[in-house]
Amino acid sequence: MFERKASAPAVSGEVALLSGVQGALKSEVSVKAARGLSHFGEHAAGWFAAGLVGAAVDRRRRKDWLTAAAGVVGAHAASIAVKRVVRRPRPDDPSVEVLVGTPSKLSFPSSHATSTTAAAVLYSGMTGRNLVPLLVPPMLASRLVLGVHYPTDVLAGAALGATVGGLLRRKLSRR
């Protein structure tokens, strides 16, 4: 009957899920917000800057804020290292629309998810407020809305960021 071309990727469950999420959440407003989050989170720059602001405002705990900000950058670096080992390509399927440029063609894990989760965990410890539910879900959803990551990419990134952030947060709380 129908013969699949060798060059056409098989539509996996993840592609179908990604396409479904993108179809359900994509709107002019959500894409604009997702692009804003994408630019803010690029190379963890926005989260690093937030840590520097914390250090400037909270002089008493400046060293801890700087350590937390460095931890966010460290989590981002860890995600880049994993990407280079795993080498999973970004989504490339006709059912998924890519709505933002990316600095690399590698997908797993999501560095945005990693640095955002690390920042949320670390900065929660610094502020005394749980920032995870406020910051992490929108960033993870944004990567799917923009079509640049598979669902497992963002989940793995969040797990990596939570691990790095959690380990460093424990160390900071012992001071």
Residue 144 has pLDDT above 60, yes or no: yes
Cβ–Cβ < 8 Å for 133, 120: no
pLDDT at res. 7: 36
Q: What predicted TM-score, i.e. pTM, was given to this entire model? A: 0.89
pLDDT (tens digit per residue) in 60-83: 999 999 999 999 999 999 999 999
pLDDT (tens digit per residue) in 102-128: 989 999 999 999 999 999 999 999 999
Residue 4 has pLDDT above 60, yes or no: no
pLDDT at res. 171: 86
Residue 130 has pLDDT above 60, yes or no: yes
Q: How much of the chain exceeds pLDDT 90, in percent?
A: 83
Q: Which residue is associated with the tokens 């999501």?
A: 110
**Where are the chain's structural domains?**
28-173
pLDDT at res. 8: 39
DSSP string of 40-82? HHGGGHHHHHHHHHHHHH-GGGHHHHHHHHHHHHHHHHHHHHH
**Residue 145: half-sphere exposure toward Cβ, Cα within 13 Å:** 21
Residue 158 has pLDDT above 80, yes or no: yes
Mean pLDDT for the stretch of residues 131-146: 96
For the record, the structure tokens of 115 come out as 């640095």
